[in-house]
Amino acid sequence: MLTDDSSHNPEPPEEAQAIDEALQAQIQWGHQKTQDMQTEINKVFIGQQQVLKQVLIGLLSAGHVLIEGLPGLGKTLLVRAMAKCIGSDFSRIQFTPDLMPSDITGHAIYDMNSKQFQMRKGPVFTNLLLADEINRAPAKTQAALLEVMQEKQVTIEGESYAAGNPFMVLATQNPIEQEGTYPLPEAELDRFMMKVIIDYPELEEEKMLVKLVTDGRAESFNIDSLTQQMSVEDVIKLQSLVSHLSIDDTVLDYVIRLVRATRDWAGIAKGASPRASISIVRAAKAHALLNGNSFVTPDDVKTVALMILRHRVMLSTDMEIEGVKTDEVLLNILDHIEAPRQ
């Protein structure tokens, strides 16, 4: 950490100031990098600025992101555009009911010439993995991602193979009410740092999108026209920078109180685990960097809490029968848990 206990080893004022200036320079570099990336992606991903920002938070905090929305809202376009702007290795898996686990992880095949088993790696060996319509495949196939999402490695025939660095799963899913979908197992849901909801675009955004496509400028949506804004090494550096941003004990206490409130709140049958607290802190730090700040504020926590918690809690049967949405209950918690004064 960059924030040490100065009472034990006080630094000379000049040295402390130099460290502070160096950190601020890194933060400004990271802030500019992410701004440039958002600008570039916006050339093909019209509107939905909050969705784009949330996915970038997932990237900066080294988390996996689940994107939910109806077909045709640009979920796949967003992920492909981000991979192009990073210049990273990118793989896509189209999840279908007949997809096998080995189609995801890879498998060992026997080579008749060498009389040895050869490893054929699957699409998970990449930096950015797009799991398209992940809930179209049954639980057994979905579970093939469990190890690589947690350990960033895959075990095949008793041998472990490392995935890419960085490694991020961006999964898209249609609402579970859609025909032909399977609910994600709880163990897999927990491995997603956040769940992002993508909805219909605003009126002006939809008008802009339709006009661009129908007036002969459809090439505006050509992902190949996007230019790389950062490298894989830049992503690793940004993720390290985010982890070193500071968070005051009062703000950390606020995070813990929010998560603990989900465990005994009226209408919630299953609350969030400590992993939710960890994810909120990591995401809040990433949000702070996007705003060019070196520390986490209560507003950073409020901004990211909903997308971290919405897939980690389970409403009571009565709430579900009444048609109450998970976000409504969580927003109620955010309104009632007092935040520290900034």
Convert the pLDDT of each residue in 122-133 to its tens digit. 999 999 999 999
Superfamily of domain 46-225: P-loop containing nucleotide triphosphate hydrolases (3.40.50.300)
Per-position pLDDT tens, the chain of length 342: 444 444 444 455 565 566 578 888 999 999 999 999 999 998 888 878 899 999 999 999 999 999 998 877 788 888 889 989 998 888 999 999 999 999 999 887 877 777 777 788 899 999 999 999 998 888 888 888 999 999 999 988 778 889 989 999 999 888 766 667 788 888 888 899 999 998 888 888 888 777 766 765 544 467 888 899 999 999 999 999 999 999 999 999 999 999 999 999 999 999 999 999 999 999 999 999 999 999 999 999 999 999 999 999 999 999 989 989 999 999 999 999 999 986
The Cα–Cα gap between 326 and 290 comes to: 27
Domain ranges of the chain: 46-225
- Encoding tokens for residue 212? 């661009």
Q: Residue 176 has what pLDDT?
A: 66
The Cα–Cα gap between 75 and 130 comes to: 10
Q: Interior CA angle at 27 toward 23 and 30, to 5°?
A: 140
The answer to whether the beta carbons of residues 51 and 76 sit under 8 Å apart is no
Residues in contact with 201: Cβ distance below 8 Å, sequence separation at least 6, in sequence order: 46, 47, 48, 73, 209
pTM of structure: 0.87
- Encoding tokens for residue 208? 């802009």
- Angle, helices 13-41/232-243, rounded to nearest 10 degrees: 130
